């Protein structure tokens, strides 16, 4: 029986993805920075929070839809921006965009995608946002934003927590840095994973950063494009640059990589329409707080003046409900849909979205909520109970 029929949760796709991918590719997908304490904390943060259900609320029908910047989505999550997805499946960014559209949720494309933003825009209907790495000079960002606007992307996410590269030790041990290097170990590992070898390595070859091809001479190799990304990091990027990007883009703009409430306030002052609470999936500063722990203070600091999205460690519908109850407007999914993609392509990502949607609905039902608005009255109990938390959507104890 196929995985798509037998899988009951994201963990099933995680295990299947691990079996299908070579070690170097799996470590890139699954790994974090240094000792991976923040990576683990992102999951542990959800385990510390308990949902206090209410009964007999007459919630036989439930609505989990959410509105973001004038668009209503079927669920309070969307596929977030991730790079080098072509390592996991051919035309992976196209597959993810189509999976999101079929589930009536949004899709955010990374600057570091392996299908160009124009290719993704041509996949058909669906709401798409563009994620910008502020590499290089102002002209670099302006050109990418111009292409995104012309291609119909409706919002932009500016990622600000990777101006200096994190120390991802799994990748260092594997000699991986935005590209696969042909070594005897990599070749043997690829041969041991024939399904991946046929579809990715032999099928399409090493994926390139297609959005960046225009900035290099024609015919630039994947290796040359990877070198370009490493050379263009911009540690001098500052709040004044957010103001410039907002003037350039004009539409909705979010700043991603926010963990401190003071930075969330500063982002709005710089013209942002919202923030993404994120520690880059535990891949940058090891020892940074779990995003679910940072979320309530940021929600309180913004006070409804901007949108608050969050990512980091979401594997269950109940995780998503907890985040919304703590004040998040929506969740960005990273690894969860990538596990589905790596295991079974577009169908796997689609199935993951369906599982999470069902789990959100089931959690709302069992918690006694009719809609996301009802989460204002939901209690999220920390463990141990002596730890008090306050969220914007109702009192959280």
- Residues known to be catalytic: 280
CB neighbours (10 Å) of residue 109? Answer: 30
Closest by CA to 333, choosing from 99, 151, 90, is 99
The closest of 274, 282, 281 to 301, measured between CA atoms, is: 274
Longest dimension (CA), the chain: 66
CA 13-99-151 angle, 5° bins: 140
Give which of 52, 166, 152 is closest to 106, Cα–Cα.
152
Q: Which residue has the tokens 């109940």?
A: 318
Of 34, 96, 48, 100, the residue nearest 279 (C-alpha): 34
Q: Are 252 and 69 in contact (CB under 8 A)?
A: yes
Residue 161 to residue 134: CA distance in whole angstroms: 10
- How is 248-262 classified by DSSP, letter by letter? HH-S-EEEEEE-SHH
| Contact indicator for 70, 321 with CB cutoff of 8 Å | no
DSSP assignments along 139-175, one per residue: HHHHHHHHHHHHTT--EEEEE-S-SS----HHHHHHT
Centroid of chain to Cα 268: 21
Asked whether 114 and 93 are in contact (CB, 8 A), the reply is: yes
Contacts 24+ apart (CB under 8 A), 112-116: 112/83, 112/84, 112/178, 112/209, 112/211, 112/229, 113/83, 113/85, 113/209, 113/210, 113/211, 114/84, 114/85, 114/86, 114/207, 114/208, 114/209, 114/210, 115/86, 115/91, 115/210, 116/210, 116/211, 116/213
């Amino acid at each position: 029986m196929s995985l798509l029929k037998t899988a009951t949760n994201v963990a099933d796709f995680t295990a299947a993805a691990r079996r299908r991918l070579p070690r170097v590719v799996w470590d890139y997908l699954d790994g974090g920075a240094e000792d991976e304490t923040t990576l683990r904390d992102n999951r542990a943060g959800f385990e510390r929070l308990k949902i206090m259900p209410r009964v007999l609320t007459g919630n036989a029908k439930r609505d989990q839809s959410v509105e973001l910047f004038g668009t209503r989505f079927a669920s309070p999550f969307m596929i977030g921006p991730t790079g080098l997805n072509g390592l996991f499946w051919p035309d992976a960014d196209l597959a993810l965009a189509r999976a999101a559209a079929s589930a009536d949720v949004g899709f955010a494309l990374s600057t570091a995608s392996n299908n160009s933003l124009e290719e993704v825009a041509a996949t058909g209907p669906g709401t798409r946002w563009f994620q910008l790495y502020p590499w290089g000079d102002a002209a670099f960002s302006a050109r990418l934003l111009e292409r995104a606007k012309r291609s119909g992307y409706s919002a932009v996410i500016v990622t600000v927590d990777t101006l200096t590269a994190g120390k991802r030790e799994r990748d260092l041990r594997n000699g991986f840095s935005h590209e696969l290097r042909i070594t005897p170990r990599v070749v043997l590992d690829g041969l041991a994973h024939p399904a991946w070898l046929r579809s990715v390595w032999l099928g399409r070859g090493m994926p390139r950063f297609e959005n960046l091809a225009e900035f290099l001479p024609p015919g630039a190799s994947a290796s040359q494009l990877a070198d370009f990304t490493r050379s263009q990091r911009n540690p001098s990027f500052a709040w004044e640059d957010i103001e410039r990007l907002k003037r350039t883009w004009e539409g909705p703009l979010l700043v991603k990589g926010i963990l401190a409430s003071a930075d969330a306030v500063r982002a709005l002052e710089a013209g942002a329409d919202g923030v993404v609470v994120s520690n880059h999936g535990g891949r940058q500063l090891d020892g940074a707080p779990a995003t679910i722990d940072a979320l309530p203070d940021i929600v309180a600091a913004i006070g409804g003046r901007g949108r608050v999205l969050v990512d980091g460690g979401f594997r269950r519908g109940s995780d998503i409900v907890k985040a919304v109850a703590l004040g998040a407007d929506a969740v960005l999914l990273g690894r969860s849909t990538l596990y589905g993609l790596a295991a079974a392509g577009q169908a796997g990502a689609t199935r993951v979205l369906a599982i999470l949607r069902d789990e959100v609905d089931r959690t709302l039902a069992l918690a006694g909520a009719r809609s996301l608005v009802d989460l204002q009255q939901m209690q999220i109990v920390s463990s141990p109970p002596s730890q008090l938390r306050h969220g914007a959507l109702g009192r959280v104890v």
